[in-house]
Amino acid sequence: MSRTLPPLETLRATCTGLARAAAREIMRIYAGDLGERTKADKSPVTDADHAAEAVILAGLRDLTPDTPVVAEEEMAAGRMPKLNGGPFWLVDPLDGTKEFIKRNGEFTVNIALIDGGQPILGIVLAPASDILWRGAAGLGADKSDKGGSFQRIATRVPPSTGLTAFASRSHSIYSDLDIWFRSNGLTVAERRQAGSSLKFCLIAEGQADIYPRFGPTNEWDTAAGQAVLVAAGGEVVTTDGRALLYGKPGFSNPHFIARSKAAQ
């Protein structure tokens, strides 16, 4: 990690607080008028996206003033920072805006630090349930439920009966997934759906085994969840088996597979 940044332990603690502050803004808006509207790319946005992003941006710029921050709503407004080849932040202040609008609770706050193309720190907080997952290179992964103490988490060895596989709540295409599972000789015993980056975190804590994603995503959608999963003993790879990297032109991801390393 760059010498200009504070230690990962410090960054993790501060970003935990920023995620919780953003979550308070999100839940304040969740209780009333969401301020829903449509962006230029036809995707939805709400007052909560902007309020949460403002909290996180202010905190990160104070914490690491020389480190660029790539944030979803800033990017939508055409404000892309100049990356200098060093570390940078990726922020999705409200991942799962469609789920937020549906009021089903499956949305998260995502904060990730990228260094050398890899997410080395990730914070994922589900405001509706007040569960926070975090992972950092060399520090492992842990989880806090409703503000309680952090407990270590780790991926599992899949049961002999087969894998538990995730699909996105809003983007599930089971026919494509079935073809992919069969072609890779994988047995799926249970299918589950979840919104936002919750899928990465539930695999990280051993509740499921694999999440193939064959639809469009952006880097801010996946970076924090990938950091948690990798720190818990999992991996996120492209369909040709290479690590999913960050800082790509346009910040768009190829298709990928998030999984326990034993789920292959």
Which CATH number is correct for 163-260, 3.40.50.620, 2.130.10.10, 3.40.50.720, 3.40.190.80? 3.40.190.80
Task: Band the pLDDT of 176: cuts 50, 70, 90.
Answer: confident
Torsion of CA 86, 87, 93, 94, to 10 degrees: 90
pLDDT at 89: 98
pLDDT at 169: 56
Task: Give 160: exposed, middle or buried? Use CB within 10 Å, 0-12, 13-18, 19+.
Answer: exposed
CATH 3.30.540.10 in the chain is located at: 8-146
Note whether 112 and 119 are within 8 A (CB): yes
Among 1-5, 18-22, 105-109, 191-195, name the one with the lowest average pLDDT.
Answer: 1-5
Exposure string over 206-234, b if 16+ CB within 10 A, otherwise e: bbbbbbbbbeebbbbbbbbbbbbbbbbbb
For residue range 243-259, what is the model confidence (pLDDT) as tens digits? 999 999 999 999 999 99
For residue range 66-75, what is the model confidence (pLDDT) as tens digits? 999 999 999 9
pLDDT at 44: 85
Kindly state the average pLDDT of the residues 216-231: 97
pLDDT, the chain, mean: 92
Q: Please report which residue ranges of 120-208 form alpha helices under DSSP H.
A: 174-183, 198-204
**Of how many residues is the chain composed?**
264
CATH 3.40.190.80 in the chain is located at: 163-260
Name 133's bridge partners.
124, 143
CA neighbor of 2 nearest in space, from 109, 87, 105? 87
For residue 172, is pLDDT > 60? no
For residue 2, is pLDDT > 70? no
Confidence (pTM): 0.94
For residue 171, is pLDDT > 80? no
According to CATH, the superfamily of the domain at 8-146 is Fructose-1,6-Bisphosphatase, subunit A, domain 1 (3.30.540.10)
